[in-house]
Each structure stands twice: as C-alpha cells, then as structure tokens.
Amino acid sequence: MRSLPVVLCLSVVLGLSFGGAANAAPPAKLTLWYDKPAVDWEHEGLPIGNGAMGAMVTGGIATDTLQFNEKSLWTGGPGSAGYAMGLPSEGKKEDLAKVQALLNAKGRVAPEEIAAILGQPVSGYGDYQSFGELKLRFDHAPTAAKAYRRSLDIGRALASLSYEDGGVRYRRQYFASYPAGVIVVRLSANRPGKIGFTAVLAAPDNRSVAIAAKDGRITEMGALKDNGLHYEAQLQITAKGGACHDNDDGSVTVLGADSAVLILSAGTNYAVRYPTYRGDDPHISITAKVDAAAGQSYTELLAAHERDYRILFGRVALNFGGVLPNKPMNAVVADYGKGDAASDLALEALYFQYGRYLLLASSRQGSLPANLQGVWNASATPPWNDDYHVNINLQMNYWLADVTNLSEAGMPFYDFVDSLVPPGRVSAERIFGSKGWTVFLNTNIWGFTGVIAWPTAFWQPEAGGWLASQYYDHYRFTQDKRFLETRAYPVMKEAAQLWLDALVTDPRDGMLVVSPSYSPEHGPFSVGAAMSEQIVYGLFGDTAEAARLVGDDSFAAKLDSAREKLDPGLRVGKFGQLMEWKDDWDDPKDEHRHTSHLYALHPGHQISPLTTPRLAEAAKITLKARGDSTTSHGEAGTGWSKAWKANFWARLYDGNHAHLLLAQLLKENAMANLWDAYVGPPFQIDGNFGFTAAVAEMLVQSHNGFIDILPALPTVWRDGDVRGLKARGDVVVDIVWRGGALQSMVIHTGHGGPIFLRSPLLAQRFTLVDTVTRKTVPVTAIGDRYTFQARPKARYALRIQ
C-alpha cells in the first residue's frame, strides 16, 4: 500500500458527532430494521433510490456491497442487431383481415394459430441492466461484531447500520438524493482514526470498462457491447482525517480516517428521443453533479435530501392504532397473522407507506418510470427483461400516485407514454392500417410498440387506450386544465382515433367490436372479449368528456355515435359471473391470475354497486371463483393479482374481503425487506404499489363524481386516522374514525366548486364548518349524498354530532 501514490482527500466534511446510543432503542414507527447483514439481495437488501438511480443496502461488515442501478442502462434498441421496434417492415392489414375472417368463421382460435400470422420474431428488445457494485472492503474484519443493526427509515428515506467491534462503534448511513442527483454513503466511528477501507467500482462483463482514480474520485466509463450505449459512473471519496490513496487499479483506499463520505452518480447517453434514443455523453452532467455534491457538507446534503423527500412523503399519514413490536422486520413479516393484532395493524399501515416510499425512490420527475422492479435490478437477464408490461403492470405501478398525494412522482409515467406515441403511430399504421397510436403487451425504453411472437400474451393493442385513460384520471384528480389540453387530450384523442378506425362490426349482432381480441394472457382469440370492449368503451367515454372540456365538440360527437354502437363488454353468464368473453366460456374453476374482465369495475368506472348492482354482483361471483390465495400452481396468487383483487373488492364496498387479499399478500408474497414477490421470487414491484392503492381505495373513493368516505372499511381497522389522501376534483381529505364510525373529517380544496360526499357512516347528524370564516356551511342532502359549495383553497371541518 505504501508504494502507491498518496493523495490526501479533500478534508472538507463537517463531522456529525456519533452519540453511540444503545441500538436496542424501540424502532421508530416507519423503520424496518434487521440484526444481520443481508445474505440475499432480493429478500433482505434495503432499497434506496432517487428515481433515476437506485441502490441496495446489504450492509456486510468485512465487505459492504452496494449494488446500484441507473434506469437508462439497457441493452437492446438502436445499435443492437436487428432492432426494429417490434414493427413489421410492411403493412399487416391483410393479415389482420384474414384473422378477422377466421374468427368470424370459427368463433375461437388458439393463440398459436394467430401468432403464426400476426406475431413477430423480435431482435434487440434488450434488458434492463445492473450498473454495477460499489464495494467497500474494510481494513478491519471483525469476527465478533456485536449489536449489529441495519435499518431503513422510510420517514426520512435514510438507511443506516451500526455495530460494535473492539470497543468501537461503527456507523454507516446511505441515502439517494433527488435534488443532488447522487447516492451518498457516510462512514463514521465513535473513536477517531478508525475508518479504513478500499472502495472499488465493479462492473458486469457485458461492457467495455475504463476505470481510473484521481484525487479520491473514481471514474468508470465504457459502452455496452450489445448496443454501444455509453455509460459512466463517478464516485468521490472524501475523508476527514487520515489518508487517502488513489490506486493504480482504479480503487481508492482510505486509512485511519475519522469519517468518510462517498458520493456516487451514474448515467448513460440515453435520451427519450425517437428514433435514435441517444443524447449527450453523460460525462459533463455526472461530473457536475458529483462536484456540486462534494462541495456540500454531509449535513447539508442530508438536510436537502430530507427536505425534498418529506415535502412529498409527509403529505399522507396513516394509522390503524397498531404498534410494531421490538423485533427485526423479517420476524414481523414471518409472524404476520399469527395473533399479534397490534403488530399486524402496524405492518399493514407500514406496507401502505412503503409503497409510497418505493414510488418516490423509483419515480421522480425527469426519470424513466418505475419498471417491473422499480429501479432495482442486479441481473443482466432479469425476469421479463425488467421492462414495462402494459397489460396491467405499468398501469398498476401508478395507481397510487394521485390518490396518495404523490402526483409529482407520477409524471414519469406520462413522459414515458408520450414518448411511445411517435413509434406507436407507426405501429397503428403498419399493423392496423389506421391512424392513431398503439402499443401491445410490453415495451422497453427504446420505443418498442410492436408485437412479439409469444402466442399466449402478445396481443393487447388496447393497452394504448388503457394508458391514455390514466391521463384523464390524473386530470380528474388535479383539475390541471393545462395538462388536460396539452398532454392528456392529444394522447387520448389519438388512442381513440385508432379504435374509431379499427373497430369492426360483429356480423352476429351488428355491434362494433375489437377483433382480434385476447383476454390478457388467458385467451383464446375471439371477437370482442370483455376487457377489450371495456377499455375502448371507457376510453371513448373519457375522451368525449375531455374533448368537450377542450372545445373539440365534433370529435366528441364522433365518439358518442361510435359508442352507441359499441359493445361495452358487460354481460352476465351462466353461473352469474361477469363474462370474460362475448360467449359464455367461463369456467367456475378457473383461477387464472388475470381478472381482466373486471376492468370496468377498476380501474374503469362503468360498474358500481350503486349504479349497476347486477353487474357488481356478477363481478363478486367472478372474484369468488377466481380465488384469493396462492394455489398450488401459483396462478391466483401473484402479488399483483392479489393487489388488484383487493382494489376490486374495495370498489365493491367489501372491506373485509379486500383486507383478506391484503392479508394474503402479506402472508404469501411479502419478503423480509417488504418487497412484494411475484410467487416466491422474483420481486415485482406492482404488488407493492397495488397494495398501497388498494388501502387508499378502501378509505376514500371518488371515481363516480362524489367523495366516498371510508367506503370499504374492514372490521379489523376499527380505529384509525388518515391524513392527506387525494380525491378527484382536487380535494384532499383527512379522516378520523373510532369503533368503525366516522368521527371527524377535514376537506381541503384546491379548485373549489360543488363537492359531493357520500358515506354509509354519514347517517348521523353532522356539522360542516369553514375553518377560515368559522361559519357553518349549508349542506344539502340528495338521497345518500351531501353537497355543499366549496371555496378554492379552503378548509372545511366535518364533525359528527
């Protein structure tokens, strides 16, 4: 070591005094803690992230490995052999007509037969990649470290670890800062001169690598072999006291320091820019971020990070009166449902907040949206390419954004879907011979909007319409007229345009239908499967409404007249179920994980127990037949499937059944780090996000033009309070309930206007007071709804008398 050039690190870090507090203190309410390092990345690692970058805190004692990611590091796409965005080189309209004729003749056709006609072998689709690992090899390798504690405080978005060795207490802290665009690690000890380690950046071997260290800064750069995408990571190591060596192999060694701060940033020359998907080399922007962060003290960096995070995360608080026991989170999860009711309630509330934490960590303005694993992936060949599946998964990732008051974190979804429109137009043109845009089963960061050749899943052209309807929902939550005019409506209009052109008449009844149509991942190919019809019906309704709001009345009229002839996909079948296909082929023993034909119940809004009780009853029968828990073949029980079912039951006003699904998810799918598993591994983040959305849906609904308060409260959530949930109409609500009865509520308005409230719990007398004027507000009862005129930016307190 001595023969290496010695460079003193910049000694500018303000040391944080380390108090050496006993680590057995009761855990904070929103803290996950463990008494061991993670052995397994997937089950035990603790995720941190700032939207674009993510890292996993495993907390080894002799070597600490921080696996990290940056969202744009993908193989595939332009530069990768044979990539053509999944698009056929020439029009497939004749093939489509052939398939339609076949379906009219036979009624149902096996997916293999259709895939042979319409499917497309795909090259260069690519995979989301691990960026690499930051390894810290410590110069003390204790054999008997004591009092080890590794934790993640999701109230602060801060991971920490501490342990004792040889009478010294060591401490590390890790966070991913959105304002600074970096990941920060701080190492300290309660005695001076005790920090010594070598920091190494390690990269997988599917890329060229040039690595060098200078003045405590490791710079690693190169290009992916597959597609030539440039990548770069920089790590600045700054030690207080001691010495710092830049090593010839590109690592940096710190010796005898009092503390050290590590600042990491990474990126690529990817740009969301069709058709090249390349932008500037990342060197300048990464250098600027690391320089700027290194110019701040650790205290400043942490304070700015916490300020940024708390403003968003702190908007919502939820409490079911539970208390986490003083035991590691792996034990809390393992003991869920085994008799400690207070622990179970605390875990349910924590799991709700964890979804919000994960969204903020994997989706912030300017980043790509959360993929199947958010931002975290340690593999070169992750499950399902760790891509964007759009037959449920990407949509589910964003259900929680508006309702849990994190609209800002939802913006990457819209930026990304916007970017699918130009290639999606080519797809519409080549595959349907129509105007508009579309996307099918799945997409990557390279504008993939075509079909793959996977028979049992590839066909889902309604996905574009589903994504577009989510834009309208965002408008309904925020009432952001500019977003409606400039972003939502253009995307919706073109998505609807595709179907105005592509719907066909069913010769059997003269109705407009989608053909070919495939109930997601279930099939068979037929004409007018329920989900296809429901998506298009919902899209036409939402788009016509949006068109009128922006003054495009002629397009609204076109949609209205098509909608009159459109089969809405809502039928009740032989065992009382909501039919999955236009013909009654449903099998009451079928436990398939997709329950797509309930789209009109959730996230759509065509079915409701109040307005369409017969269809709501049929939806219940379907859900009961599909089942709740993981069956022997895992079908009914993927995490996301349970989460969707919990949302369905919430919309059916059955809080106990919704809760049963959430409880099953916690028992069967939650890992020790609270990530949701698909069935066992792999981790798939949609189940986390869907869980959070379902809890919100049980507490407040607003999709039918009124705010439904505690519409699906399960018996076990007897007492509770929630602050900050958002309802459509730009309203935020705080609710307190006790003994299953509504006690009080505060309504915060954004835009104001007439507000409609409904709750089975509002039957008692209540008063509504404008908290600024302190005047009682007149409320009109219309059936089971109550309405009042709200001022913008006002606050109304409702009290049960």
Q: Which is nearer to ligand FUC, 622 or 684 (CB)?
A: 684
Compute φ and ψ for 560, nearest 5 degrees.
-60, -45
> What's the min distance (Å) between Cβ of 524 and ligand FUC?
16
Q: Which is nearer to ligand FUC, 525 or 737 (CB)?
A: 525
Query: What are 228's two structure tokens?
Result: 């030539």
Query: What are 597's two structure tokens?
Result: 């034909």
> What's the min distance (Å) between Cβ of 101 and ligand FUC?
29
> What's the min distance (Å) between Cβ of 521 and ligand FUC?
4
Q: Which DSSP string corresponds to 151-196?
A: EEETTTTEEEEEEEETTEEEEEEEEEETTTTEEEEEEEESSTT-EE
**Contacting residues toward ligand FUC, per CB under 6 A:** 372, 384, 389, 391, 393, 457, 521, 593-594, 638, 640, 684
Q: Which is nearer to ligand FUC, 389 or 748 (CB)?
A: 389
Residue 673 vs residues 152, 206, 338: alpha-carbon distances, Å: 9, 29, 19
Compute φ and ψ for 602, nearest 5 degrees.
-160, 130
Q: Which is nearer to ligand FUC, 636 or 733 (CB)?
A: 636
> What's the min distance (Å) between Cβ of 242 and ligand FUC?
48
Task: Count the Cβ atoms, other than its own, within 10 Å of residue 148.
Answer: 18
> What's the min distance (Å) between Cβ of 111 and ligand FUC?
14
> What's the min distance (Å) between Cβ of 238 and ligand FUC?
41
Q: Is the peptide bond before 121 cis (omega within 30 degrees of 0)?
A: no
Q: Which is nearer to ligand FUC, 245 or 593 (CB)?
A: 593
535/533 Cα distance (integer angstroms) = 5
Q: Starting from the edge strand earliest in sequence, which strands make up the sheet with 780-782, in order?
A: 700-701, 707-709, 753-758, 785-790, 780-782
> What's the min distance (Å) between Cβ of 418 and ligand FUC?
23
Q: Which is nearer to ligand FUC, 389 or 723 (CB)?
A: 389
Q: Which is nearer to ligand FUC, 169 or 593 (CB)?
A: 593
Name 394's bridge partners: none
Contact 662, 355 (CB under 8 A): no
Q: Which is nearer to ligand FUC, 367 or 442 (CB)?
A: 442
Nearest alpha-carbon partner for 42 in 349, 512, 378: 378
> What's the min distance (Å) between Cβ of 689 and ligand FUC?
13
Query: What are 236's two structure tokens?
Result: 């600045």
Nearest alpha-carbon partner for 586 in 602, 570, 575: 575
Cβ contacts of 341 within 8 Å, gap of 6 or more: 322, 716
| Burial of 483 per CB tally in 10 Å (0-12, 13-18, 19+) | middle
DSSP state of 59: -
Contact 578, 597 (CB under 8 A): yes
618/626 Cα distance (integer angstroms) = 12
Q: Which is nearer to ligand FUC, 298 or 448 (CB)?
A: 448
Contact 106, 113 (CB under 8 A): no
Cβ contacts of 522 within 8 Å, gap of 6 or more: 580, 592, 594, 596
> What's the min distance (Å) between Cβ of 387 and ligand FUC?
8
801/798 Cα distance (integer angstroms) = 9
> What's the min distance (Å) between Cβ of 371 and ligand FUC?
10
> What's the min distance (Å) between Cβ of 561 and ligand FUC?
35
> What's the min distance (Å) between Cβ of 373 and ligand FUC?
10
Compute φ and ψ for 439, nearest 5 degrees.
-145, 155
Compute φ and ψ for 276, nearest 5 degrees.
-90, -30
- The upper half-sphere exposure of residue 621, i.e. CA atoms within 13 Å in the direction of its Cβ, equals 19
> What's the min distance (Å) between Cβ of 594 and ligand FUC?
6
Q: Which is nearer to ligand FUC, 521 or 580 (CB)?
A: 521
Q: Which is nearer to ligand FUC, 257 or 368 (CB)?
A: 368
> What's the min distance (Å) between Cβ of 639 and ligand FUC?
9
Contact 691, 294 (CB under 8 A): no
Q: 437: helix, coil or strand?
A: coil
> What's the min distance (Å) between Cβ of 678 and ligand FUC?
6
Q: Which is nearer to ligand FUC, 236 or 393 (CB)?
A: 393
Scanning 363-485, the segments in alpha helix (DSSP H) are 393-397, 399-403, 407-427, 463-478, 481-483
Contact 115, 96 (CB under 8 A): no
Query: What are 639's two structure tokens?
Result: 């995490």
Q: Which is nearer to ligand FUC, 577 or 684 (CB)?
A: 684
88/548 Cα distance (integer angstroms) = 36
Helix axes 489-502, 530-550, angle to 10 degrees: 130
Q: Which is nearer to ligand FUC, 18 or 384 (CB)?
A: 384
Q: Which is nearer to ligand FUC, 521 or 628 (CB)?
A: 521
Q: Which is nearer to ligand FUC, 469 or 684 (CB)?
A: 684
> What's the min distance (Å) between Cβ of 392 and ligand FUC?
6
What are the E-state strand segments in 314-401?
A: 317-319, 388-389
The position carrying tokens 């490791």 is 218
The position carrying tokens 């010294």 is 168
Query: What are 453's two structure tokens?
Result: 């050749």
Contact 150, 57 (CB under 8 A): yes
Q: Which is nearer to ligand FUC, 488 or 679 (CB)?
A: 679
Q: Which is nearer to ligand FUC, 449 or 749 (CB)?
A: 449
Q: Starting from the edge strand earliest in sequence, which strands make up the sheet with 252-257, in order?
A: 46-49, 53-57, 63-70, 132-138, 195-202, 252-257, 243-246
> What's the min distance (Å) between Cβ of 593 and ligand FUC?
6
The position carrying tokens 């665009």 is 181
> What's the min distance (Å) between Cβ of 491 and ligand FUC?
23
